[in-house]
Amino acid sequence: MAESWDGNLDSGSRSDESYRDSLHVEPIYDAFLCPLTKEVMRNPVTIENGQTFEREAIEKWFRECRDSGKRPTCPLTQKELKSTDLNPSIALRNTIEEWTKRNDAVQLDKACRILSPGSPEVDVLQALNHIAHICQKSRSNKHVVRNAELIPMIAEMLKHGSTKVRIKALETLRIVAEGDDDNKDVIAAGDTIRTIVKFLSHEHSQEREEAVSLLYELSKSELLCEKIGGVGGAILILVGMASSKSENISTVEKADKTLQNLEKCEKNVRQMAENGRLQPLLTLLLEGSADMQLSMASYLGELVLSNDVKVFVAQTAGSALVDVMKSGSKQAREATLKALNQISSYEASAKILIQAGILPPLVKDLFTVGINQLPMRLKEVSATVLANIVSSGADFESIPLDQDHRTLVSEDIVHNLLHLISNTGPAIECKLLQILVGLTSSSTTFMNIVAAIKSSGATISLIQFVEAPQRDVRMASIKLLHNISPDMGQELADAFRGTAGQLSSLINVIAENNGISEEQADAVGLLANLPERDSDLTRRLLDEGAFKIVVSKVTSIRQGITRGGGRFVTPFLEGLVKVLSRLTYILEGQPEIIALAREYNLGALFTDLLQMNGLDNVQTVSAQALQNLSKQSRHLTRIPVVPEPGFCCTIFPCLGNPPVITGLCRVHHGFCSVKDSFCLLEGRAVEKLVACLDHANVKVIEAALSALCTLLDDGVDIEQGVSVLDDADGIKPILEILRENCTETLKQQAVWAVERILRKEEIAYEISGDQNVGTALVDAFRHGDYRTRQIAERALKHVDKLPNFSGVFPKMG
């Protein structure tokens, strides 16, 4: 039974005899050793037969006897005992204590001599082992170690070249520090804590583990918490270790517990928050004193938070921050606003704040005037937070602001925002404009805001901000105007025509050459949404040099000269093309506009843009522009002059045959070019337009078909136009459009085009056998509008589906 004790020794003792002997100068007397543990006894007791044992060891022996159902026996004689009473051996204990003190004193003195960088590793390890051993025996020994000035020597061993020595030194310092604040203070003197912190980044895991265990012990002293946190990088490393997936569990737990101790110091809490450990700060924010809450809220506003952390903060402290906004002092609301500014800048956290009730106090702070109003600098922060909240895309129509159930998109609230915009400084103007930008970016609130802007008559005042010297104000203004332009195009066009400078400012933004910015995309998008047939506005743009800039920008993008811009390249190019197409809507009877279109070679440019696959809007607008240009071709083609027959021709008629003129356009019967007469045939645009008839986007198909239909218009050679389409393989896709169940607009266009195509007898004969075409024409004849039915009737006559004498409708003029 005595053998079972070999593996159950006290953690502070050693069973190895060589180690044990090394701890003593005087010999160990056998009477000092417990027969069970083979260790020097600390609390010797005698049993009834006179044998002496360590109290803890013999008590365990008796307990095991009882648990096994045996009567108690003597471990040495194995004889049964009548009693398990234990009698303290006071004299022996005193003798052992005196012997131990003498030996400890000698060994400590020896350790003082050994603990130096030049000592052999084995001696240093033995000395550290002994110091740890005697400190574990009693607290008074820790005082002895301190008084012997051994602690600085142990700390010096942290710089030893041996990993084993460094690890043992860390362990020894932890043992020396346990439960002794005076020793902790000595350890913390000088640069020792900085050295310990360095171990947290060492590659050797045992060094890291021992270092964090030592820091945990030192952090139990409130006086040392600030010093530990003051070491550069200490808290950052500990935060990393506490959340590490690769460190062992013990190290992670010790790092976490160390951080919990360091939370006693406010500076450390701030550092933890900086490094992503927000909970301590939030705890003080929610549970600390009023001054502490104010301090933490203010600091929270200074932090740069990741999006995940913003959500966490909103969930944890959002309601408390909103409560401060509702009823706190101005000082508290200022600190809270700064914190809310940080938290609200992410969509998910902003929505949490909305649920917590942030909107009513924010709006109230913005609109309150008089003695209770916030200073303008705080109103700016309120506006910033509200702008962040609005950009979250929440359903603001359903969130009441007051007992009257007004919402952020109620007409009078929007009127108040518009009034405030016109009566504040640039900083808050920008934020208020951004609020409206957010509300007009949502399809659910767009119409409410547009209606309120119209009813307030604020269009002109909003346009004035386009000239603002502050870039952020100008950007927000242009963004807002771009957002509302699809529904307020005419109002904005009227306002731009009636004011000076704003149009020029927009054009200057578009002309900038620093890549492609969002502001440029918004500026050109705004102009693109203005009514394209407004000739007065087009002339204003012409006077400002807009079209020269636009052509240059389009060319640069197509040639790859303009680089950068990322996601803004496409909307910028779409806007440029739409603005440029304005010129094609006012060509009729305008020689100077025609001259400009020729100068910019718009026919070739829009033909080239037709090939920008993937940019549906660019292709649609280009086809529409080509339609407008092609309508002018019959007026602009140069008709050859045939000389009058001379006197001889009257006498000899055989000499009067007209001269043969070559190079004439088949469709327009004149000299055509893509540059001068915008001829689709000469510009080789027909094939590209036909290719667009197979597009997935109906808008592209409609625009391409409309452009091709100009080759079949009255005033041109329709039969030759049909031949041109046939040569370009364009008839089949037009018939396919007719047969498909497409949009009403496309159906009307296809019926018109097919009727013209069927005027060519050989094609009409070929198509007459196609039942699908006949069915589609009959359907148009039965269900189309008045004009479509007329056209369908004529088409059916071409393929003999209706008799020619059945005048169902009067002839068209």
Which tens digits make up the pLDDT trace of 388-431?
999 988 889 899 998 888 999 999 999 999 999 988 888 899 99
pLDDT digits 0-9 by tens, 616-628: 999 999 999 999 9
Closest CA to 111 of 162, 169, 159: 169
Q: Rounded to whole angstroms, what are the CA distances from 126 to 25, 115, 154? A: 14, 10, 12
Q: Rounded to whole angstroms, what are the CA distances from 43 to 2, 54, 114, 140, 803? A: 19, 6, 31, 17, 130
Report the C-alpha gap between 759 and 722 in whole angstroms: 9
pLDDT at 663 over 70: yes
pLDDT digits 0-9 by tens, 589-611: 899 999 999 999 999 999 999 99
Sheet of 52-54: strand order equals: 52-54, 44-46, 87-88
Closest CA to 396 of 455, 354, 342: 354
H helices present in 600-661, as ranges = 602-609, 616-631, 633-636, 647-651
Closest CA to 316 of 273, 285, 361, 358: 285
pLDDT bin (cut points 50, 70, 90) of residue 802 is: low
Classify strands 52-54 and 87-88 as parallel, antiparallel or unpaired.
unpaired
Closest CA to 95 of 163, 155, 26: 26
pLDDT on residue 20: 46
* Least confident span in 25-29, 272-276, 506-510: 25-29
Q: Rounded to whole angstroms, what are the CA distances from 439 to 10, 379, 806? A: 73, 19, 60
pLDDT bin (cut points 50, 70, 90) of residue 674 is: very high
Spatial contact of 725 and 708, defined as CB atoms under 8 Å apart: yes
pLDDT on residue 16: 44
Report the C-alpha gap between 525 and 541 in whole angstroms: 14
Half-sphere exposure of 224 (CA within 13 A, CB side): 28
Closest CA to 756 of 714, 787, 728: 714
Q: What is the mean pLDDT of residues 443-469?
A: 93
pLDDT on residue 792: 86
Tokens representing 38? 């083979």
Which position has the token pair 């069915």?
Answer: 775
pLDDT at 809 over 80: no
Q: What is the mean pLDDT of residues 373-381?
A: 85
Which position has the token pair 């949490």?
Answer: 352
pLDDT at 204 over 70: yes
Report the C-alpha gap between 210 and 196 in whole angstroms: 9
pLDDT on residue 140: 85
pLDDT on residue 65: 92
Tokens representing 316? 């944890």
Report the C-alpha gap between 37 and 772 in whole angstroms: 107
pLDDT at 21 over 80: no
Report the C-alpha gap between 643 and 368 in whole angstroms: 86
pLDDT bin (cut points 50, 70, 90) of residue 511 is: very high
Report the C-alpha gap between 795 and 755 in whole angstroms: 4
Q: What are phi and psi of 283, to 5 degrees?
A: -60, -45
pLDDT at 8 over 50: no
Half-sphere exposure of 307 (CA within 13 A, CB side): 4
Closest CA to 635 of 604, 670, 609: 670
pLDDT digits 0-9 by tens, 292-318: 989 999 999 888 888 999 999 999 999
pLDDT on residue 130: 86
Report the C-alpha gap between 337 and 378 in whole angstroms: 8
Spatial contact of 505 and 466, defined as CB atoms under 8 Å apart: yes
3-state secondary structure of 88: strand
Q: What is the mean pLDDT of residues 42-64?
A: 93
pLDDT on residue 363: 92
Say which residues have a Cβ less than 8 Å from residue 805's Cβ, sequence separation at least 6: none
Spatial contact of 321 and 338, defined as CB atoms under 8 Å apart: no
Tokens representing 767? 């198509």
pLDDT digits 0-9 by tens, 715-729: 999 999 999 999 999
Spatial contact of 526 and 481, defined as CB atoms under 8 Å apart: yes
Closest CA to 626 of 644, 651, 609, 649: 609
pLDDT at 500 over 80: no
Tokens representing 699? 């808008």
Tokens representing 646? 């001379």
pLDDT on residue 13: 41
pLDDT bin (cut points 50, 70, 90) of residue 383 is: very high
pLDDT at 118 over 90: no
Closest CA to 747 of 780, 772, 703, 787: 780
List, in order of start, the domains of the chain with CATH numbers.
30-88 (3.30.40.10)
Percent of the chain with pLDDT over 70: 92
Say which residues have a Cβ less than 8 Å from residue 632's Cβ, sequence separation at least 6: 587, 588, 594, 677, 678
Spatial contact of 725 and 757, defined as CB atoms under 8 Å apart: yes
Q: Could you say which DSSP state residue 180 is in? A: -
- Per-residue 3-state assignment (H helix, E strand, C coil) for 434-478: HHHHHHHCCCCCHHHHHHHHHHHCCHHHHHHHHHCCCHHHHHHHH
Report the C-alpha gap between 492 and 484 in whole angstroms: 9
Q: What is the mean pLDDT of residues 467-472?
A: 92
Q: Could you say which DSSP state residue 239 is in? A: H
Say which residues have a Cβ less than 8 Å from residue 249's Cβ, sequence separation at least 6: none
Classify strands 44-46 and 87-88 as parallel, antiparallel or unpaired.
antiparallel
Spatial contact of 174 and 210, defined as CB atoms under 8 Å apart: yes
Report the C-alpha gap between 436 and 455 in whole angstroms: 15
pLDDT on residue 806: 45
pLDDT at 494 over 70: yes
pLDDT on residue 659: 63
Q: Rounded to whole angstroms, what are the CA distances from 193 to 185, 293, 394? A: 11, 31, 51
Spatial contact of 75 and 35, defined as CB atoms under 8 Å apart: yes
pLDDT on residue 633: 93
Report the C-alpha gap between 661 and 637 in whole angstroms: 15
Q: Could you say which DSSP state residue 543 is in? A: H
Report the C-alpha gap between 55 and 88 in whole angstroms: 8
pLDDT on residue 732: 93
Q: Could you say which DSSP state residue 698 is in? A: H
pLDDT on residue 768: 82
Tokens representing 796? 């059916």
Tokens representing 591? 């020689």
Q: Across 723-766, where does the E strand assignment appear?
A: none
Say which residues have a Cβ less than 8 Å from residue 47's Cβ, sequence separation at least 6: 53, 58, 74, 81, 84, 85, 86, 87
Q: How many helices (H) and strands (E) does the chain have?
A: 44, 3
Which position has the token pair 């040639």?
Answer: 559
CA 699 to chain centre: 33
CB-neighbour burial class of residue 363 (10 A; exposed 0-12, middle 13-18, buried 19+): buried
Report the C-alpha gap between 504 and 155 in whole angstroms: 74
pLDDT on residue 706: 96
Q: Could you say which DSSP state residue 640 is in? A: P
**What phi-psi label fits residue 38: left (phi over 0), alpha (psi between -120 and 50 degrees) or beta?**
left
* Least confident span in 132-136, 217-221, 531-535, 615-619: 132-136
pLDDT bin (cut points 50, 70, 90) of residue 803 is: low
CB-neighbour burial class of residue 643 (10 A; exposed 0-12, middle 13-18, buried 19+): exposed
pLDDT at 183 over 90: yes
Tokens representing 638? 């140069």
Q: What are phi and psi of 87, to 5 degrees?
A: -110, 120
Average pLDDT for the chain: 88
Report the C-alpha gap between 604 and 622 in whole angstroms: 10
Spatial contact of 611 and 688, defined as CB atoms under 8 Å apart: yes
pLDDT on residue 11: 38
